[in-house]
Every structure is written in structure tokens, then in C-alpha cells.
Amino acid sequence: MHMADALISPAIGGAAWAVSAAAVAYSTVKIKNELGEKKIPLMAVAGAFVFAAQMINFTIPATGSSGHIGGGILLSGLLGGFPALLTIAAVLVIQCLFFADGGLLALGCNIFNMGVIPCLVVYPLIFKPILSRGYNVQRISAVAILSAVLGLQLGAFAVVLETLFSGITALPFSTFVLLMQPIHLAIGIVEGIITAAVLNFVFAMRPEILESSGAGTPLQGVPVKKVIVTFVVITVLVGGILSIFASAYPDGLEWAIGRTAGTDELEADGPVFQSVAAAQEATAIMPDYGFAGDEESSPAGTAVAGIAGSLLTCVLAGAAGLVIRQVKKGKVKAA
């Protein structure tokens, strides 16, 4: 559900940048002591896993469409809402800058739709209160599916509103919303099942991870090496091998645009769009997850992109967590 720049006006893009930046800054401030020495590497590998997992588009039967996980609820369950937003923002930044996935002008919208909504709205209002009653496989599964569906439905509706307020006449509200919501309901159910499977897997290995995330406490005295190694291995397999077999069908957003506007790629013209397109082109080392210059991504290009993107996300998310921890430790010592 990565929006392209042509779907929004510069005003809406700028406003979304401001809102998302404020949400990320707020999350940075609100993080207390949960980013201990064991939570930061978990934050890094979880971000890498979500990057790799987003490369796997799964087919939605009988629609000619596909979808991929957003990852906001998954990360929130593993890390807590505030660290999760920072991590999904790292994923989206890497995708945008180095792989031209989602527009640079639209990056604020994408962080809001795929990060702020699930991590700062659905997680604290739905996911966390339900799991506060106790952790078990059934409750984790139910809340994961419910939260993933709600997060994606709200995110899809936000996309519709952003195009509406941008004055994109090729996407009339009534038609666009009636296509966006049902297809993302189907995608959300699949994402919820995947999220439930991953969270239950982690819960079986180290229930303290989910419990500490819900309580906002550090993982003190809890060995997490096996969990981290497992995430690394799965990330390499998903990003380096399974990504090659992703569905070729358009994702839910492209599918809805195609049936509303008659084409799944709208075009925008103007100095702002030209400037951001040039900037993104300059940073995109592997556009569309393939080697630069290739008209179509080769299996080798996709595999390299999956591994490289996961590694870059791991570094960025881990570095963000480390910097925040060091700054907060410095403030505590100064006090």
C-alpha cells in the first residue's frame, strides 16, 4: 500500500510529512527505559524481517490482485507501539530512498498510513487492552487478526481521503473507496494470520518479549539470542529466496487505482514532482528491487535487493534505537 507521488498534491504531501515527523518525534520522547541492550537488536532484526516480508506479495484469489503485510501490528506486538513506529519508519525510508518503492513526496503519507495508524492508534486502543487480560495462543491470535484488519482498513481509508483532499479527479471518492476497502479487508485477514503466527512463535520461545512490550519494560535477564538468530535466518530465507516467487499481480492499491482510473499508474507534472523524482532517482540504487538499468527485475536482482534492503533496515533501525538509548541515559546521568 505504498503511495506514489502522483496520488497526492504537494500540500497534502507536505502536511503528511509534518504529521508523521511529529509522530516519530513524539515516539522518540515517549520511549522510556524499554530500549535495553536486548531490545535494540530485536528492534533491528524485526525491522529487517518486516522489510523482507513486505517483498512477498501473496495472491488474493479470484481478484487478480495481491497484497503484502504492513508490519505495524507485528512490530508493535514485539517491541511496543513507540519503538514499532520508529522501526516501520526505518523500513519505509529504506524502501523509498534506495528502492524507489513509494514516492518521496508521499513518504509522510506512507509512514502515517502504515505506521502511525497501527502503532499509535490500533495498538494502544485495541491490541494492548485485549492482551492486558492475559497472554495465551487464542487471545494473541484473535487480537492479531482483529488489529491487522482494523489497521489496514483505516490505512486504506486514509489513502482514499488523501487522494480526495489532493483533488485527484481520476479517483472519485465513492468508486475508489468501494474498491479499496474490500480488497484490503482480504489482505488484512491474511496479514493478521501471518502476524498471529509470528507472535505466537515468539511467545512460545520467549513469552517475556511480548509481555515486556505490553508493559513497556526492558528485557532484563531474558536470553533472546535464539529469537534474534531465528529472525536473521528467516529474514535471509524470505528476502533472498522466497521474494523471487512473489505474486506478479498488482497490489491492492494498484488494483483499486486500475479499476477506478483505467490505469494503475497516474502521472503528475510540475516543479515539485520533478524535483522529488530527481532526488529519489539519485538515491535509488536498486529501483523496483532490481539491478539498475534492468527493464525487469531478475531473480538475482530481487534476491540481492532483499538481502541488501534487510541489512540496511537492520542498521538504520538498530542505530536509531541505540542513539535514543544513549541520549536518554545521558539525560538520566545529568539529572
Strand partners, 59: 66
For the domain bounded by 5-334, which CATH number is listed?
A: 1.10.1760.20
Query: Looking up cell 468501494, which residue turns up?
Result: 178
**What is the model's pLDDT at position 33?**
72
Q: By CB neighbour count within 10 A (0-12 exposed, 13-18 middle, 19+ buried), where does 295 fall?
A: exposed
**What is the model's pLDDT at position 220?**
81
**What is the model's pLDDT at position 334?**
57
**What is the model's pLDDT at position 332?**
55
**What is the model's pLDDT at position 137?**
97
Cβ count near 183 (within 10 Å) = 22
Q: Which three cell numbers stand for residue 143?
A: 487480537
* Residues 156 and 184: beta-carbon distance below 8 Å: yes
DSSP string, 207-270: HHHHHHHHHT---TT---HHHHHHHHHHHHHHHHTGGGG---S-BHHHHHHHHHHSSS-----S
- Sign (positive or negative) of CA dihedral 140, 39, 41, 108: positive
Question: 93: helix, coil or strand?
Answer: helix
**What is the share, in percent, of the chain residues with pLDDT greater than 70?**
99
Residues 290 and 284: their CA atoms lie apart, in Å, by: 10
**What is the model's pLDDT at position 130?**
95
The parts of the chain modelled with pLDDT lower than 70 are 331-335
Quick: pLDDT tens for 89-115: 999 999 999 999 999 999 999 999 999
* Amino acid found at 123: Y
The model's pTM is: 0.96
The Cα-based distances of 117 to 92, 134, 201, 242, 243 in angstroms read 14, 24, 25, 28, 26
**What is the model's pLDDT at position 125?**
97
Quick: pLDDT tens for 136-173: 999 999 999 999 999 999 999 999 999 999 999 999 99
* Residues 90 and 311: beta-carbon distance below 8 Å: no
Query: Looking up cell 542513539, which residue turns up?
Result: 323
